[in-house]
């Protein structure tokens, strides 16, 4: 299958992530895997997905290192699909996507919510900086900039964006706070 990523985006972590998990069925399969589904027939029944599409998606998830294919029966041969550490690390992304969807629905229209397993209390997922605990949804307070492995094109992109920011914003990026 041809890549949907533009050549200049190949180093962008967002573009490469979407290439792995941005497909509709992929996200739903991963969601089911987080709910404990591991077997082909479980995914198929839960999602009402065609055999060929499910086979293709599972092969891709295994090839991308998000699921591991393990035999659970020898005669006839049957396999289950278990989340890898890499796959499990996507759970916050799935939680954040579901939370975003629920945020735009009336409470009575939500078909699925995240709750504390011990108390049953509904959780309100947010993305925060692990170091400071500050929410990351403020695009004025937190901005992207070129990282250590950035190419000349990526550095030029963020240099231009930096020039467009106010002098105060530029000073904050150059001198991160000691929080």
- pTM (two decimals): 0.76
- Express each pLDDT in 103-161 by its tens digit: 999 989 989 999 999 999 999 999 999 999 999 988 888 888 888 888 888 888 888 88
- Does 99 score more than 70 pLDDT? yes
CA 86 to chain centre: 11
Q: Tell whether 79 and 134 lie within a shared domain.
A: no
* Rounded alpha-carbon distances, angstroms, from residue 162 to 101, 139, 145, 146, 170: 31, 14, 8, 10, 6
Asked if the structure places residue 43 within a domain, the reply is yes
Domain of 26?
7-89
Tokens standing for 157?
Answer: 């992109």
- Does 102 score more than 70 pLDDT? yes
Query: CATH number of the domain that 57 lies in?
Result: 1.10.10.10
Higher per-residue confidence, 174 vs 102: 102
Looking at the structure of the chain, the number of domains it has is: 2
Tokens standing for 11?
Answer: 């180093």
Asked if the structure places residue 11 within a domain, the reply is yes
Asked if the structure places residue 71 within a domain, the reply is yes
Which spans in the chain are helix H?
13-21, 24-34, 40-47, 51-63, 85-88, 91-103, 152-164, 167-174
């Amino acid at each position: 299958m041809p890549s949907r990523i533009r050549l200049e985006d190949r180093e962008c972590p967002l573009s490469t992530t979407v290439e792995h998990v941005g497909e509709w069925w992929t996200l739903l399969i991963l969601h089911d895997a987080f709910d404990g589904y591991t077997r082909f027939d479980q995914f198929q029944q839960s999602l009402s997905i065609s055999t060929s599409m499910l086979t293709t998606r599972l092969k891709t998830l295994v090839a991308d290192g998000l699921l591991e294919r393990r035999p659970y029966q020898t005669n006839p041969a049957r396999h289950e699909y278990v989340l890898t550490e890499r796959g499990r690390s996507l759970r916050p992304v799935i939680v954040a996507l579901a939370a975003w969807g629920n945020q735009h629905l009336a409470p009575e229209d939500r078909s699925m919510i995240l709750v504390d397993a011990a108390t049953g209390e509904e959780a309100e997922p947010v993305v925060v900086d692990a170091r400071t605990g500050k929410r990351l949804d403020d695009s004025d307070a937190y901005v992207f900039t070129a990282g250590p492995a950035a190419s000349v094109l990526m550095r030029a992109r963020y240099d231009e964006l930096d020039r467009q920011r106010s002098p105060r914003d530029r000073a904050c990026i150059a001198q991160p706070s000691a929080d």
